[in-house]
Every structure is written in structure tokens, then in C-alpha cells.
Amino acid sequence: MSFDTLAPHYPWMERILAGEKLQRCRTAFLEEIPIPENILLLGEGHGRCLAECVRLFPRAKILCVDSSQKMLEQSKRQIERQTADFRNVEFMRADVLEGKNNWTIGPHDLVVTNFFLDCFRPEQIESIILKISWAMTPDANWLLADFQMADGGFKKLRSRMILWLMYRFFRAATRLPAREWTSPDMFMERAGFELRRRVEREWALLHADWWVRK
């Protein structure tokens, strides 16, 4: 999987296709969680959540991880436009599916995975969640935002069509591992997390979650 080809186009694609809808999901709980000291942003993409974390938590150490070097460069440009001082931010290119990665050392008291877990197959999601859990403090918070399949009626039909188109496109453009959407909830619970809050948007096509350790 590589988003290098899409990286230069992703910002304008998001603006045209989604406006601020994805960003509202990314930042849904950032102002409500306890102030973190060590943040892991995994699969951060073009850096819009990173910019908010830098603004809201200026003293926190932030590790921004992505498998795409061009997406990491986009993230860096995002915060360069915002502040000249981002000495607490480290950028790391890493493949989350590899056996060992430096980001698993931790400990992180906040993990953020936005529009990331839905890129993977079920067995990969379970493996990734376990890896992340080992790198978290006992009182850590986990924020995630993703697409989902809505329940029932027209909402379900609408989300099914949109997800089908999305997976077809991203599999062709990025060699995305997943062929269809998989809910991470069961794997999160197995790894010892419980859902504290969830908000749904866009007729339940989008959701933002705040998970905590049990």
C-alpha cells in the first residue's frame, strides 16, 4: 500500500468531496480528552489532525507515522504554515504491518488513528490494534475516525454504495489491502479497550470514537 501517488492531490480531493466533514471527525474529541504528554499519530496522512494537536498540546511530544514519505512531507508543511517551532514533533516513515517498528516502543498516552484502520483486512486490523496497545500507557486514550456501514434503510444503501466506490478507487490507486469495510469494535474490545463516546455524521457514514482502557 502506498499513498505517494495520491499525496499531492489528497488535500484538494478532500476539500471538493468532503469539505470539512472528515476534519470535524478527526478533531471531535481533542478538546475534551485529558491533556496528553506523548502522542502517536498513526497513518496521519496530510497532517490536518497533527496541526490541531500541535496547536492544542504545544508541550506534548508527538510522533507522526505514515508509510508514505510524500504524506509525511505534506504533514510537515501543514505545521510549518502554522508555527515555526515544532521541535516536539518527530516524523517517521514506517509500515505498520512490519514485524518491528520504533513507534511500538512508546509509551504513548494518546493514540490517534484517523481514516486508517478501515484500510486493512480483519486479521490485519487485529494485529495492528494489538501492536498499538503494547505501546500505550495504562491510562491512555485512543481517538479514531473512520467510515462505516450505516444501519438500516436508505442510510445503509447509501453507505454501501459510497464504500463500494471508495474501496474500488483506493485499491486501484494505492493497492489498499482491504476489499471491504470491517468494523474494528470487536478487536478494540478484545485488546482491552472500551468505547467511551461515539459521534456519527453524514447519515452514519462517518464516525468518531473515543476509546479508553478498561
- Of 124, 147, 118, 137, nearest to 193 (Cα)? 137
Report the mean per-residue pLDDT for the chain.
Answer: 93
Residue 195 forms part of a structural domain: yes
For residue 13, with 0-12 CB atoms within 10 Å meaning exposed, 13-18 middle and 19 or more buried, which class applies? exposed
Residue 121 forms part of a structural domain: yes
The secondary structure of 19-79 as a DSSP string is TTHHHHHHTTTTTTSPPPSEEEEES-TTSHHHHHHHHH-TTSEEEEEES-HHHHHHHHHHH
Residue 5 forms part of a structural domain: no
Residue 178 forms part of a structural domain: yes
At residue 195, does pLDDT exceed 70? yes
At residue 100, does pLDDT exceed 80? no
Residue 103 binned pLDDT confidence (cut-offs 50, 70, 90): confident
Contact 195, 141 (CB under 8 A): no
Q: Which domain covers residue 144, as residue numbers?
A: 10-213
Number of domains in the chain: 1
Picking from 2-6, 88-92, 182-186, which range would have the lowest pLDDT averaged per residue? Answer: 2-6
Residues 48-92 pLDDT 10s = 999 999 999 999 999 999 999 999 999 999 888 877 678 899 999
Residue 1 forms part of a structural domain: no
Residue 2 forms part of a structural domain: no
Residue 74 forms part of a structural domain: yes
Residue 168 forms part of a structural domain: yes
Q: What CATH number has the domain bearing residue 204?
A: 3.40.50.150
